[in-house]
Amino acid sequence: MTLSEKKRLAILGAAETLFHQQGVEQTSMDQVASEAGVSKRTVYNHFATKQILFQAILTRMFEQLSQGPEKPFNANREITAQLTEIAEQEVALLTSPQLLRIAKIAFMQMLQQPELMQSLDNTDIGCMTALVQFLQDANAAGVLNVEDCDFAARQFVYQLKAFTFYPKLYGFSSLENASEQSVIAETVKMFMARYGAIN
């Protein structure tokens, strides 16, 4: 790794820490330079604006996010068990310190940049990267009856988010493991009640 690359990583690490602690708007490029142990000119050589630096941090954090393996549809397994496994993996991601850190940094900036909300909402992470295809395959196999797989996938994920991710992000409450399992079970039941194929 070159010295330039090391400095770039130091800048990203410093900015991530400061943005998380005090928000993007309240953090100056001077503070980032000081925290990273580099000159202000070096910071600007790598990142022309604070907005570019902010976007680079979000990109890096999403790349580092541990999301678990994709779970393709298996026609030989019971659909409820498969959906439960997908939901368990999704809740583990939604409640992970990594994702909550990203969300806190991004949420504070959304107050200044409403358009960022749309950008992040369109970023598929976790099970959304493969859930639409899973539902399409399950539909084709006659296990589910879904007209709009993209909409159904978002219903599934947003139900989980509402009871696990957002309460932790906003500090409303903290679910215990048993409660998370209950949310998962009820989400799968509701989904199957709506989309389960009638034999």
Average pLDDT of the segment spanning 169-176? 71
In one-letter notation, the amino acid at residue 172 is F
Strand-pair partners of 144: 196
Q: Are residues 59 and 75 in the same domain?
A: no
Question: Tokens at residue 140, please?
Answer: 């084709």
| Mean pLDDT for the chain overall | 86
- Among 134, 131, 140, CA closest to 159: 131
Residue 172 host element (H or E): none
For residue 145, is pLDDT > 80? yes
Question: Tokens at residue 160, please?
Answer: 């989980």
- Among 52, 91, 194, CA closest to 135: 194
Q: Are residues 105 and 183 in the same domain?
A: yes
Instruction: Supply the range of the domain harboring residue 23.
Output: 3-63
Q: What is the pTM of this model?
A: 0.77
Q: Are residues 14 and 95 in the same domain?
A: no
pLDDT, tens digit (0-9, with 9 covering 90-100), for 58-73? 888 777 776 677 889 9
CA angle 80, 81, 83 (to 5 degrees): 65
The span from the CA of 70 to the CA of 134, in Å, is 10
pLDDT, tens digit (0-9, with 9 covering 90-100), for 150-166? 999 999 999 999 999 88
Q: Are residues 74 and 170 in the same domain?
A: yes
The span from the CA of 28 to the CA of 23, in Å, is 10
Among 63, 78, 112, the domain boundary falls at 63
